[in-house]
Amino acid sequence: MLCCVLCRDVRQRIQQRIAQAFGISSASMYLTKPTFFSRINNTEAKTTHDEYWHPHVDKVTYGSFDYTSLLYLSDYTEDFGGGRFIFMDAGSNKTIEPRAGRVSFFTSGSENLHRVEKVHWGTRYAITISFTCNPDHGIGDPVLMRTRGSRGVVFAKVCTVSRLLALLQSRRSSRTASPDCGPVLPVKQAPLPQRRASWVSSDLLVPLESNLVWVYQSLTGERSSAGMG
């Protein structure tokens, strides 16, 4: 997991947007674990844990979750096929198509049963950033520890970071002036536990990209991001 790609600025912006959308105080929300980076492709699952496509409730899977958010780092149909996020509502499902810079967030209980479609081609990148209202379950912002693993493990991480950097830089160059575009899925005018929303902001990619450069430098000891950008 590249938890280190979660920088404080991105986390705070998402936390504030969730608080605003759901009418709660951001001070009552605490980052919780697991907060993680995901890279999904069409490789065959080796363990049950790899079978990401099953319907689930985050509060059941991860007991500390009260609010779940997903920051997408790649684009549906452009970088991968399949891999859409599906809320399994009674009567009709609601689907989110990942887009770099899009954030989807929702309450983590049974009101938001969901799944992810299988990825058919390409690679789907995202970061799950989760919050709790219980300070006992809160954690600090992740920090990068210098890797002491095998050369192969370090090389794999460097390749992943390099690909993400190239991806984010290409997206940013084409969306420099893209503002927040408001809710993609309307926030329901219903009791709080049933709410969910989504918004797109290219601004989130800039600090994330900067932090990835730092991750790359820490992993490799180099002062540049492999000439990208």
Any idea how long the chain is? 229
**Chain segment 30-89, per-residue pLDDT in tens:** 999 988 878 898 988 888 777 889 999 999 999 999 999 998 888 899 999 999 999 988
| pLDDT for the residue 91 | 79
CATH match of 3-220 with 3.40.30.10: no
The mean per-residue pLDDT over the stretch 125-149 comes to 78
Q: Which two tokens stand for residue 39?
A: 């890279």
Mean pLDDT value across the chain: 73
Comparison of pLDDT for 117 and 216, the residue scoring more: 117
Q: What is the pLDDT of residue 9?
A: 76
For the chain, domain boundaries: 3-220
One-letter-per-residue 3-state SS of the chain: CCHHHCCHHHHHHHHHHHHHHHCCCHHHCEEEEEEEEEEECCCCCCCHHHCCCCCECHHHHCCCCCEEEEEECCCECCCEEECCEEECCCCCCEEECCCCCEEEEEECCHHHCEEECCEEEECEEEEEEEEECCHHHECCCCCCCCCCCCHHHHHHHHHHHHHHHHHHHHHHHHCCCCCCCCCCCCCCCCCHHHCEEEEECHHHHHHHHHHHHHHHHHHHCCCCCCCCC
Catalytic-role residue among 11, 17, 99, 124 = 124
Any idea which of 132-136, 160-164, 168-172, 217-221 has the lowest mean pLDDT?
A: 217-221
Q: What is the mean pLDDT of residues 139-147?
A: 64
pLDDT tens-digit series, residues 75-129: 899 999 999 999 988 777 888 898 888 888 999 988 889 999 999 999 998 889 8
Is 124 among the residues known to form the active site? Answer: yes
